[in-house]
Chain A
């Protein structure tokens, strides 16, 4: 049995063998499983942007970009298999799209010297580039997100939320527990009360939590949800007549999928965002012309312009820009993963640059450095309009409370460095 197995595996390894000269961007997507409705648009956007670059500009700096898609089903073990099978092909940067796979890959990518970009998810303290050499999470992360949500609430209340109650409804997993520390610190600073309401995976049954919200009437409810939990939570909030504009989700609870099932009742629901929404950008004309009309759109091609599609597009754009930066830095079009890391560490997104890319005011302006792998954490708030079935940003990109978040990042990354004997770099 084992012999046969080894032979089969050998064949497999041979198949996965040959390296390509193109710039390889693996896409660890999930188009199946419980989180497929979230994974599909992201993967489509990620693939379509690189197709656009290849078709319109002939690639990045003259080199074709190649997206290798690998289905993880949001499953850590499959994610590992995907990582191992694609890293031999010269992968430049990984976007694992799952907190579980991220934690898995942080030590692995560091050992293999391949950068990883976890955009708005993953391990928050990876923002500290001194400790996490190969992991990036710009432009923002969960702790900044928590701080921006509180900031938005402060703005609404004229800066004083003393004595108010804020409830956090969270997915009872590593992902959902991320903002708790930050919110506890913030509640000390601003004097609000924090109520924690965990929801177990998958989150179809939330009666208890929403009855508690109905009883205790918190002034605001924050949500860290994903998958079916989002849809049920928004429906239940509508059921108990909770004022929707006091209900703020994280950016993973912010897609059309989450609000559409609740219909008109979801009107006014708010969610955080770190990039713009809608398809009102010049780049979408190009996507139509070079990708869709040529029949090259990824997936069904029916996700274009949704929030998560935009996020995939934005991730691809940041990766492509980092690759360009790396090409300029090292003066070669054929970059290696190590050069890619340099490119990411020198990435700078300015309003002019975004304008030139056909996405004016699409994301916040930020810059990355050797010490700072997290950008500056700017985020905005979007609101759902059920009549026109569209999201719109209702605030500018706001600065989070660095005084609170920064020490937490330092503390957590120092713990990681101590655990793994890492000497801080960038000195």
Chain B
């Protein structure tokens, strides 16, 4: 009834090719943007920002990045944590070496540096496929973490090897360091998320995205119809790493403010982002958001319900949290193996016909 295509006519190719061809979708998208940009900054507080929104936004960027590689180009990677570390440490080195340059530029540059590193570690993908590649990317993960832990230059020779984000401002408002207002940090992350999602959406709709998907579906066949696997795979690694690097830089500079490489960018991070992508839905930008939201908010919600509402001991709640998350993952996969994004698609199909399903 509300959600329908009837009466939604297109008179130009441009209109037909737009990102959200269905009018209802388009308005919903604008509404979400409006709430995110115009409402949340005014109601945000420290808790909302640091416990839920910042990690959600930053993991969304990382998930979009990994989804490009895994969901669209079909290359499973477990090096996300390592690439996030590259983003974080490049941002740190740039921030301390060029304190006068705007921090937003540093974040973007950190993304480009990560893209270069990612492309280099993507080279084995030309030979190695499937789970073998996934395990091979772990080499990148472990090597990068070791490198940042070992070479003191990366952490400016500080005594403990931690890196701390110094205070930097955008338009006179601090966005890194302890004096950052929650709305400022939120808006910076939201800006990056919005741009990242738009770029990713349009890249995957275009030539490059089609090449990636051809490689994903069958790389030999793709090669035969003229897709160059070298450029397609490496570009997927580079683009994916760019987003992951930006996420790592934001994770360090804006969200945490101080990180230690082994703890913040260890192997668990790689797995976490991969979980988000798979739970959300492979090959879907919306799925990246859904997966990030699921894995960021669910533990917090379970904790709030268990500890604050029911008053259970924290350790029991923490154990139940694991049991429930694990059971939910299995349940979702059995109910809908293609992730939350597929559930959303099915829901939309149903909505089209609602309330007259026959």
Contact = CB atoms under 8 A, between A and B. Distances in A.
Given A31-B318, A84-B46, A12 B300 contact: yes
B262 A173 contact: yes
A15 B309 contact: yes
B262 A32 contact: no
Given A9-B297, A31-B318, A80-B50, A104 B258 contact: yes
Interface in B304-349: 304, 307-309, 313-315, 317-319, 322
Given A71-B303, A419-B164, A81 B51 contact: yes
A84 B51 contact: yes
A2 interface: yes
Contacts of B56: 5
Contacts of A12: 47-48, 51-52, 300-301, 304
A181 B159 contact: yes
B35 interface: yes
B162 A5 contact: no
B257 to A, nearest CB: 6
Nearest first, the 3 A-B pairs at minimum CB distance are: A107-B178, A31-B315, A111-B178
Given A103-B260, A106-B258, A84 B47 contact: yes
B175 to A, nearest CB: 14
A19 interface: no
A2 B31 CA distance: 10
A104 B256 contact: yes
B191 to A, nearest CB: 14
A361 B263 CA distance: 37
Nearest to A412: B159
Nearest to A411: B159
A353 B84 CA distance: 50
Interface of B: 31-32, 35-36, 39-40, 43, 45-48, 50-53, 55-56, 146, 149, 158-162, 164, 166-167, 177-179, 256-260, 262-264, 266, 286, 289-290, 293, 297, 299-301, 303-304, 307-309, 313-315, 317-319, 322
Nearest to A74: B263
A13 interface: yes
Contacts, number: 150
Contacts of B300: 12, 81
A32 B318 contact: yes
A69 B303 CA distance: 12
A172 B149 contact: yes
Contacts of B46: 84, 87
A8 B301 contact: yes
Interface residues of A, number: 57
Nearest to B258: A103
A9 B303 contact: no
A84 B315 CA distance: 19
Contacts of B318: 31-32, 71, 73
A174 B50 contact: no
Interface in A144-183: 172-175, 177-178, 181
A246 interface: no
Given A71-B317, A201-B262, A9 B53 contact: yes
A85 B31 CA distance: 29
B289 A1 contact: yes
Nearest to B269: A77
B314 A103 contact: no
Given A10-B43, A173-B263, A1 B256 contact: no
Given A419-B166, A420-B166, 6 more contacts: A12-B47, A12-B300, A88-B47, A103-B260, A110-B178, A174-B161
Contacts of B264: 76, 100
Given A13-B45, A173-B260, A3 B35 contact: yes
Nearest to B57: A2
Given A31-B318, A69-B314, A412-B159, A108 B308 contact: no
A383 interface: no
Contacts of B259: 76, 100
B257 A3 contact: no
Nearest to A29: B314
Contacts of B178: 107-108, 110-111
A281 B140 CA distance: 53
Nearest to B286: A1
Nearest to B340: A1
A103 B289 contact: no
A77 B159 CA distance: 23
Contact of B304 (A3, A15, A69): A15
